[in-house]
Amino acid sequence: MEALRQLGLSSYEESIYYSLLKYGRSDAKELSEYSKVPPTAVYPNLKSLIQKGLIQQFEGEISEYEAIKPSIAVKNFIETKIDDLKEIEETIIPELDQLRRDNKVLQKKQVVSLSHGVDASVSITKDFISKVQKSLYILGWRASSGHKYTLLDELKKLKGFDVRIIITRTSVNKELINAYKRIGIKLKYYPLQNFSVIIKDGTACKITLKSPEVKERFNILIKDEDLSSFLNKYFLTIWEKSEKIK
């Protein structure tokens, strides 16, 4: 009976309940024959029907079972389900609303942010260094002095991590290069212009545009893991093509 399924009865429960309505009081063996439910499945389903208030048990040498009058049992069963659903409603709606609010917060989380100027670029780089867990790759370093010595002091903290820098110009500060090599930083050369990329752990990155046509640098901070992973692979490809610095 499709109506019994709609009430939430399983196929075995439905067959046993229908058999009790049709044949009257019966024991488990008889019910297995009537309903075609395997003997091992009869007792668990009888217990479930009793808990639902649809049938009753008569104990004796051999227990027998009987369907309670449907106009009473089914009505009570439906009312109980309504009460249960109301209790669920009281708990699930606040939880789902909170989930929706949390999702909106995640959606509002900035994946890309813009800034400009050298100071902003250095600040992002220092933040990356403080949070590195395995690797830091820098592409587009000009190897001049200035804040590069400050960066050197920061990179000393990353001893044991995979730190690589690709320099983009041939005329470099040799003293500065040797200072970086002494703390275990790997350096190579590749001719690129007008931009730099820093990738942290393959999960976050910063792209800095250094076009001479623009007065100040533009920094693009990216926290998207897919794009950061792609740029991480791009860096390693360029690294293989780059020249060793003697």
User: Does residue 16 lie within any of the structural domains?
Assistant: yes
Q: What is the CATH number of the domain that holds 21?
A: 1.10.10.10
- Span 5-27, average pLDDT: 89
Mind listing the pLDDT tens digit for each residue in 176-220? Answer: 788 888 888 888 888 888 888 999 999 999 998 877 776 778 899
pLDDT of residue 116: 85
pLDDT of residue 91: 80
Q: Tell me: do 131 and 52 sit in the same domain.
A: no
Q: From 45, 69, 93, give the residue that closes a domain.
A: 69
Q: Tell me: do 229 and 132 sit in the same domain.
A: yes
48 against 2, higher pLDDT: 48
User: Does residue 84 lie within any of the structural domains?
Assistant: no
Counting beta carbons within 10 angstroms of the beta carbon of residue 99, is it exposed (0 to 12), middle (13 to 18) or buried (19 or more)? exposed
Indicate whether 41 pLDDT > 60. Answer: yes
Q: Tell me: do 127 and 216 sit in the same domain.
A: yes
**Residue 10 DSSP label:** -
User: Does residue 203 lie within any of the structural domains?
Assistant: yes
User: Does residue 74 lie within any of the structural domains?
Assistant: no
Buried (b) or exposed (e) across 36-51, using 16+ Cβ within 10 A?
Answer: ebeeebbeebbebbee
Buried (b) or exposed (e) across 127-140, using 16+ Cβ within 10 A?
Answer: ebbeebeebbbbbb
User: Does residue 223 lie within any of the structural domains?
Assistant: yes
User: Does residue 178 lie within any of the structural domains?
Assistant: yes
Helix axes 118-131, 148-155, angle to 10 degrees: 10
What CA–CA distance (Å, rounded) separates 217 from 1? 74
Host domain of residue 193: 112-244
Q: Tell me: do 59 and 143 sit in the same domain.
A: no
What CA–CA distance (Å, rounded) separates 140 from 129? 17
Q: Tell me: do 162 and 237 sit in the same domain.
A: yes
Q: What is the CATH number of the domain that holds 199?
A: 3.30.870.10
What CA–CA distance (Å, rounded) separates 116 from 81? 61
Q: Tell me: do 227 and 135 sit in the same domain.
A: yes
Q: From 17, 47, 69, give the residue that closes a domain.
A: 69
Q: From 14, 37, 69, give the residue that closes a domain.
A: 69
Q: Tell me: do 117 and 239 sit in the same domain.
A: yes
User: Does residue 101 lie within any of the structural domains?
Assistant: no
Q: Tell me: do 41 and 159 sit in the same domain.
A: no
C-alpha gyration radius of the chain: 36
User: Does residue 89 lie within any of the structural domains?
Assistant: no
Indicate whether 52 pLDDT > 80. Answer: yes
Long-range contacts of range 11-16, CB-CB < 8 Å, 24 or more positions apart? 12/37, 12/41, 12/45, 13/45, 13/48, 13/49, 13/52, 16/42, 16/45, 16/46, 16/49
β-bridge partners, 113: 221
**Residue 142 DSSP label:** -
Instruction: Indicate the number of domains in the chain.
Output: 2
